[in-house]
Structure 1
Amino acid sequence: MNERLPEDLRTLVKAYADELVAMRRDIHAHPELGWAEIRTTRIVRERLEAAGLQPRILPGGTGLTCDIGPDGEVTGRILALRADLDALPIPDEKNVPYRSTVPGVAHACGHDVHTVVVLGAGLVLADLAREGRLNRTVRLIFQPAEEIMPGGALDVIRAGELKGVERILALHCDPKVEAGRVALRTGPITAACDRVLIRLAGPGGHTARPHLTADLVYALSKLVTELPAALSRRVDPRAGLSLVWGRIGAGSAANAIPQVGEIEGTLRCLDLAAWHQAPELVEELVQTVARIYGVQAEVQYDRGVPPVVNDADSTALFRAAATAAFGPQAVIGTEQSLGGEDFAWYLESVPGALARLGVRGPGEVGVRDLHQGTFDVDESAIPVGVSLLAAAALLAFD
């Protein structure tokens, strides 16, 4: 253990390891969707209160924050540690004792791990604070609705919970990285992610006479293929802009051209400037295609999240913490992902960084990707995450 960290940090973390694994399994078995994380919020609140802390429930009724400081006071420079509570509307396909008991809902992105890791770091730091060994305030943030764009981070910010915060850190499970390792990147580490819904309308008619009406399904199919293609020629390829459809619907009879149809998908972008230009460009291209085929088009473009851009100093803090706690071999680099993360909203107000926590088991064949019903983690990653965040809190602002 690095001399700047308490010699007993590993022992303090180990004391909570079994409890945190059990809590993670309980949360995993009882997942809750965004802004409905009532049970999860209660479990975290009760555990923090049992540790003598005073958590604050967010105004919406789900999610909470909690300050840990010297002598129980909020003093000095505040470091925030953020977790997300919500699950996904995906069936749990694993055959494990802690499989989801809620039909069609699962923790398929690791938020159950994020929750217990930040909780565990808070419990360790509270122990140190009681012994007079914490010289700064740490704010725990357990936010709702990360999976619902534009994300529950905005609720936390509106509630004033970034007031006084000078730096914010978060972890995200990464099934491509082995448990025991932490993947870091300075600069953009995720992408912007927006939702695009396009509705077409026309007079409808008989499929025998498409020339006398507007062939709405054909126009819809042209948008499905031509809009992503046109964007790839109108935007700098280095921006990494990608439009992928997830839903298409129109009509109910084989011999009738429908009057309405919809396509829906996500637009992701690695570059902040291109992200700001995307809504206007999508509108222009959609209307161009619609005019060619004589249909009316309505574009609903919902801003999701900007890219997470890791601050250099915060990334260096993560690196120092991981090296101090586990040695330099525990730190690896990582690429920018096209995934979206509402942690980006915090970074528009304060500097910070998102690190990737390895959760892949030793010798595991294949990768159980995020947002799949088979996703699971090597639970040895939990004390690793706790140690990393606790170490970062102790080394912050030195």
Structure 2
Amino acid sequence: MQHLLPRLKELAAAAAAETVTLRQHLHAHPELSFQEFNTAAFVTEQLRRLGLNPQPMATTGVVALVEGRNPGSRVVALRADMDALPIQEQNEVSYKSTNPGVMHACGHDVHTSSLLGVARLLTQLRDEFEGTVKLIFQPGEEVLPGGASLMIQEGVLENPAPASVLGQHVFPMLPAGQIGIRPGRYMASTDELYLTVRGKGGHGAMPEMNLDPVLVAAHLIVAAQQLVSRRANPKLPSVLSFGKVIANGATNVIPNEVYIEGTFRTLNEQWREEAHQHLRRLCEGLADSMGAVCELEIRRGYPYLENEPQLTARVRAAAEEYLGAENVIELDQWMAAEDFAYFSQATSACFYRLGTRAADGRHASSVHTPTFDVDAHALEVGPGLMAWLALKELASLEPVTVTHSEAAHA
């Protein structure tokens, strides 16, 4: 396997310009979650040009197999998400978004073009490895219920079933040429909170005639923080944040109701369930004690993301071979959420971060901002590294008995 490393790097360097072109096309034509119809068609056409047989799945998802020798003997999967965000781009570049108010501000264009690059590299090397690499192009990562959950429901982890799933995500905090990785629990679960506090509005000069929902909402927001400060195990990361409060009164008008939106995140499913119960009791009980009513809707989001330790150790070792140990960085836990977590809950999975900042400090804007962009070098590193990780993981697996016909019906 080691003899393939220099050849793979040469192929990745030779294909880098094409990967940049693919990424720029995708960046210029972003589509929102579960509306990636043109993106899916573009991905499908690119895969067919490589001689692959892509299949649709989960609205706008695409799945394809790159088969080496003895394709049914072992299988790994690689995942890229394809959707964009409702953001107006502010970059003045030749590949600026042509869709007003829609932008690839989270790097999913990088993920998709990188996985297309992996497909190109692996088809050139298909006589050099045993097994199958399943390519998963996923829709709708940015919105609930998450395209990963839908693809899993539709059988993306079956026929053939991968022994492991790898995913990468852009990371502007690291320079291009480096990656970040962390074994174990890495990213948080995420739940959306929607509260409506109802009282009795009226003139602001006559509070005794009203039942002020603004005051009740203020008490609720403060009291809810006790879920984290006094209910959660202090060694267990938890975040409760309220980002939207609407009390549509006036300087002298107390409204009838207050609307609140927030998020709850943690890294433990048992505590997640307990926190939901605590929050419901708190909202209903406190509002009732003040004579008001509070309705709480909890929209359950993604689970926490856990990188399987042994797989992650293999991924790290392979990444150090490809990039050098000094370019593989240990990450801290992060309380953001990702629907790749569904893969990590269903099978052995590893999710790592691809550095995208330029050496001179350009392209340092965070994801989900209108000035996000990446250094072109990341589009050489991303496909080559991911292809190498897939090849190394295939080589580490014990062969299984899966027929060729089963592999053909993914």
TM-score range with shorter-chain normalisation?
Answer: over 0.9
Contact 1:314 1:352 in 2 (8 A): yes
Q: Measure the CA separation in 1 of the matches of 2:262 and 2:29.
A: 29
Contact 2:190 2:265 in 1 (8 A): yes
2:330 alignment counterpart: 333
Q: Measure the CA separation in 2 of the matches of 1:227 and 1:258.
A: 22
Q: Measure the CA separation in 1 of the matches of 2:140 and 2:190.
A: 15
Q: Does 1:83 align with 2:102?
A: no
Worse overlay, 137-146 or 286-295: 286-295
Q: Measure the CA separation in 2 of the matches of 1:103 and 1:222.
A: 41
User: 1:274-315 deviations in whole A, cap 9, x for unaligned?
Assistant: 223221111112123212332111111011111111011221
Q: Measure the CA separation in 2 of the matches of 1:232 and 1:165.
A: 41
Which of 181, 192, 211 aligns to 1:184? It is 181
SS at match of 1:263: strand
Worse overlay, 329-338 or 3-12: 3-12
Aligned residues: 393
1:140 alignment counterpart: 135
- CA-CA distance at 1:91 after TM superposition: 1.8
Q: Unpaired segments of 5 or more residues in structure 2?
A: 397-410
1:279 alignment counterpart: 276
1:161 alignment counterpart: 156
- CA-CA distance at 1:103 after TM superposition: 2.0
Worse overlay, 313-322 or 223-232: 223-232
- CA-CA distance at 1:373 after TM superposition: 1.3
Q: Unpaired segments of 5 or more residues in structure 1?
A: none
- CA-CA distance at 1:228 after TM superposition: 2.2
Identical amino acids, percent of aligned pairs? 37
- CA-CA distance at 1:230 after TM superposition: 4.3
Change (3 A) 1:230 1:109: same
Matches within 5 A, 1:300-379: 300-364=297-361, 367-379=364-376
Matches within 5 A, 1:73-152: 74-129=71-126, 132-152=127-147
Q: Measure the CA separation in 2 of the matches of 1:272 and 1:358.
A: 30
Worse overlay, 166-175 or 92-101: 92-101
Change (3 A) 1:293 1:4: farther
2:10 alignment counterpart: 11
Worse overlay, 101-110 or 383-392: 101-110
SS at match of 1:153: helix
Worse overlay, 149-158 or 223-232: 223-232
Q: TM-score, normalised by structure 2?
A: 0.91
SS at match of 1:108: coil
Q: Measure the CA separation in 2 of the matches of 1:383 and 1:124.
A: 11
User: 1:143-182 deviations in whole A, cap 9, x for unaligned?
Assistant: 1110102311011101101011110000011111111011
Contact 1:359 1:381 in 2 (8 A): yes
Q: Measure the CA separation in 2 of the matches of 1:82 and 1:274.
A: 29
- Amino acid aligned to 2:51: G
Report the aligned-residue RMSD: 1.8
Q: Measure the CA separation in 2 of the matches of 1:21 and 1:328.
A: 26
Q: Does 1:241 align with 2:238?
A: yes
Q: Measure the CA separation in 2 of the matches of 1:144 and 1:53.
A: 20
Q: Measure the CA separation in 1 of the matches of 2:248 and 2:51.
A: 60
Worse overlay, 85-94 or 249-258: 249-258
- Amino acid aligned to 2:78: L
- CA-CA distance at 1:237 after TM superposition: 2.2
- Amino acid aligned to 1:122: A
Contact 1:182 1:331 in 2 (8 A): yes
Contact 1:4 1:395 in 2 (8 A): no
- Amino acid aligned to 1:44: V
Q: Measure the CA separation in 2 of the matches of 1:297 and 1:228.
A: 17
2:46 alignment counterpart: 47
Contact 1:80 1:165 in 2 (8 A): yes
Which of 227, 233, 247 aligns to 2:224? It is 227
User: 1:356-386 deviations in whole A, cap 9, x for unaligned?
Assistant: 1111111317941121112111121111111
